[in-house]
Structure 1
């Protein structure tokens, strides 16, 4: 999940310190700091490449150890890494690091976690006649996922592993198999997924026409999912329908909202607001949950990726996310198309009315999502999301006050 729909930029420098464990998990020491071009903390490909090129080390980044407290990208960032094969001669500096267990640590962030996941993926490819793996390149890792590119004689594949709170992602990919609109899943086990390669690049910065097409792609999936809601819920996709949605939103206001008068008023009006949204007659269905263009790969056809934030709920959440940083006039073009499709699908429905009521609810939902992340990750990783709950609560207040 990203805080904004943004283009990859190299304008914010990132300096990396790596503290490295040996293959068995023993502490080797700290490497000299170095700079990488991408500022985004989860991005690891440059880090791994630098360790190999500078010091001949084959390693994986396990997790974030320390990051600046006042920014969400760039700055001097410290990571814990682990060797994947023996090495000697690196310029280690003695250091101290807390290697104690934490119950909220993702399996892939533990010592030995990457090696176990790579071994699982290699076996899965071999069993399907698609191996062997000739190269494994870690692309990113953070509290929401780890992602590896696996090169083989039959082409590239992707190993993705997620924490337990995203463990329903393979359920969604299995359901969407054959649609041509979601990432093709080869096999999944214990929140590990082996994904087929999709040609193309992400669509960060996409213009209005591309976003119209993305909304149409998702509409196809959401209409197909309406009859599958009971099955998806039974298989673990989170339930954000009313009345559970109301309790979910009240929870983040109670925990983080303090004495904000507008938030209290918004919370008090939630029952009536949600009644009115229901009266607009759009059906509950599968919601992507983070539908910005960076989560869409554009090639010969568009593929929607990263379904870990998905849930069952109101389809309007996705079009609001898709248009949230667009100029008002361009956003309205995408929304009008979206509304016309739902009016055709559900005669007598009021998509526009639902969206207007849903806007502050959508911001509250984003705040609740980030609160869930903070509750589900170890404290060292809190810098990834430290300001996000407050940001989205402020946005909910702004949208609520604009209505008045």
Structure 2
């Protein structure tokens, strides 16, 4: 199946009409660039995709017939649109959870801020803003400048402060993260990163990503959560030793009352994850899971007590550390997209990559992650942590998916509907049938 598109087009307060359906060559609903390209050719004026209105068919954020609300930046010629006989689905209203970049005035403010910030930095914009992606988790735009493109990213209120997370990692490894050109509330401007996204990484790329991330996390664990507040960096550097369990500090208050540091990067330590999972199981998930499933999921949370015995310190966690969020031009990958960053247990990053790799790559990633932690925290048991946490990671994803659903407008819930329960059931399956590549991560190389 492929994606076909229809667009309801507005200009200011006026709904002009409908265009489509027409096919586009990228199946993902959030990819706005091919929709913009086609509509600008048809309408003859610049346009921006504001938001998704409806989906018929497709799943997993791709394929099917997708209907969008699109804003024309100037008025198209008469006769461009079909005769409008019905109102578009979910078109009207001032939805409280609507993203700022899903509103014409919000986009105008965002672009104005970006252009002013770049001009102040000596990087004035030299051409039209190019819309690349839009959905409930982010708006992504490419801005041309004389010294190369700059990327503008806007994120919702439930996202971590990406600028704070990027700055913290940059304190211990400047090449691990994008270069920030500017930042503001829920928005960042980043230098272009040469290369490609690492959706099919080699064993060397996987190993480099694991080694580099672990080295940085060890250094940040030594600095503690205060590293997110900025200021001069202490003497710790990526690759130095750290004492297992050496980082202390108060956790956030738990599900529904999560406390962030002043930086806007939340703390999600083990006790609070347990609280959050139980809140999910007692709330929305209870309507869709059987009593046996709920009981088994609650029992799984006991594993977190054992996980803390593995001796890995809390640190700054990426939260979505998969190869699609790595970018490389042949060297060690640069890591992007820190919207799920938090202060917590690093095993979540060690496990996230596995869902995006074929079996040989999973084994490579597990061993590289385990070896990197063992070399820096000799008293720890990272391989054991991977096995224990495989279902716990899925429970954590379930909590995060519910946060998405609780913070987005109705028409965009289709992106995440059913994900919390699917993740809980994935946790139960992995508890019954652990992945063999994780169990082998702690086996010495060459052992039978």
Same fold (TM over 0.5): yes
- Once the two structures are superposed, residues 75-114 of structure 1 have per-residue CA deviations (whole angstroms, 9 ceiling, x without a partner) of 1100001122343335123252432101111111123222
Aligned partners of 1:234, 1:56: CA distance in 2, in Å?
46
For residues 269 and 384 of structure 1, do their structure 2 counterparts lie closer, same or farther at Cα, with a shift above 3 Å needed?
A: closer
Matched, 1:205 2:235: no
Aligned partners of 2:358, 2:183: CA distance in 1, in Å?
40
In the other structure, the counterpart of 1:277 is 307
In the other structure, the counterpart of 2:149 is 156
Aligned partners of 1:251, 1:108: CA distance in 2, in Å?
31
Work out the number of aligned pairs and report it: 390
3-state secondary structure, aligned to 2:433: helix
Matches within 5 A, 1:109-258: 109-177=102-170, 179-226=174-221, 227-232=223-228, 233-254=261-282, 255-257=284-286, 258=289
1:336 to 347, 362, 367: 367
3-state secondary structure, aligned to 1:237: coil
**Which segment drifts farther, 251-260 or 200-209?**
251-260
What displacement does 1:115 show? 2.0
- Once the two structures are superposed, residues 223-260 of structure 1 have per-residue CA deviations (whole angstroms, 9 ceiling, x without a partner) of 12212324433422122102111111212222314334
3-state secondary structure, aligned to 1:286: strand
What displacement does 1:387 show? 3.0
Structure 1: state its 5+ residue gaps.
1-11
Aligned partners of 2:361, 2:192: CA distance in 1, in Å?
32
**Which segment drifts farther, 50-59 or 173-182?**
173-182
Matched, 1:364 2:395: yes
Q: 4+ runs of 1 displaced by more than 6 Å?
A: none
Aligned partners of 1:333, 1:222: CA distance in 2, in Å?
20
What TM-score results when the alignment is normalised by the length of structure 1? 0.91
What displacement does 1:328 show? 4.3
For residues 70 and 199 of structure 1, do their structure 2 counterparts lie closer, same or farther at Cα, with a shift above 3 Å needed?
A: closer
Matched, 1:43 2:31: yes
In the other structure, the counterpart of 1:33 is 21
Structure 2: state its 5+ residue gaps.
229-260, 435-448
For residues 70 and 17 of structure 1, do their structure 2 counterparts lie closer, same or farther at Cα, with a shift above 3 Å needed?
A: closer
What displacement does 1:176 show? 2.7
- Once the two structures are superposed, residues 114-144 of structure 1 have per-residue CA deviations (whole angstroms, 9 ceiling, x without a partner) of 2221111111111111113312110010000
For residues 84 and 225 of structure 1, do their structure 2 counterparts lie closer, same or farther at Cα, with a shift above 3 Å needed?
A: farther
Aligned partners of 2:357, 2:265: CA distance in 1, in Å?
29
Aligned partners of 2:219, 2:168: CA distance in 1, in Å?
10
Aligned partners of 1:169, 1:314: CA distance in 2, in Å?
18
What displacement does 1:187 show? 1.2
What displacement does 1:170 show? 1.6
Matches within 5 A, 1:284-299: 284-299=314-329
Instruction: Report if aligned partners of 1:137, 1:149 keep a CA contact under 8 Å in 2.
Output: yes
In the other structure, the counterpart of 1:80 is 69
3-state secondary structure, aligned to 1:334: helix
In the other structure, the counterpart of 1:309 is 340
Aligned partners of 2:116, 2:297: CA distance in 1, in Å?
52
3-state secondary structure, aligned to 1:31: strand
- Once the two structures are superposed, residues 244-280 of structure 1 have per-residue CA deviations (whole angstroms, 9 ceiling, x without a partner) of 1111121222231433424413313524x21211111
Aligned partners of 1:177, 1:350: CA distance in 2, in Å?
27
Instruction: Report if aligned partners of 2:220, 2:227 keep a CA contact under 8 Å in 1.
Output: no
Aligned partners of 1:209, 1:135: CA distance in 2, in Å?
38
Instruction: Report if aligned partners of 1:185, 1:195 keep a CA contact under 8 Å in 2.
Output: yes
Matches within 5 A, 1:3-18: 12-18=1-7
Instruction: Report if aligned partners of 1:211, 1:322 keep a CA contact under 8 Å in 2.
Output: no
3-state secondary structure, aligned to 1:324: helix
For residues 82 and 303 of structure 1, do their structure 2 counterparts lie closer, same or farther at Cα, with a shift above 3 Å needed?
A: same
Instruction: Report if aligned partners of 1:290, 1:321 keep a CA contact under 8 Å in 2.
Output: yes
Aligned partners of 2:96, 2:81: CA distance in 1, in Å?
29
1:373 to 398, 404, 413: 404
For residues 198 and 90 of structure 1, do their structure 2 counterparts lie closer, same or farther at Cα, with a shift above 3 Å needed?
A: farther
| Backbone CA RMSD of aligned residues | 1.8
What TM-score results when the alignment is normalised by the length of structure 2? 0.83
What displacement does 1:338 show? 1.5
For residues 372 and 184 of structure 1, do their structure 2 counterparts lie closer, same or farther at Cα, with a shift above 3 Å needed?
A: same
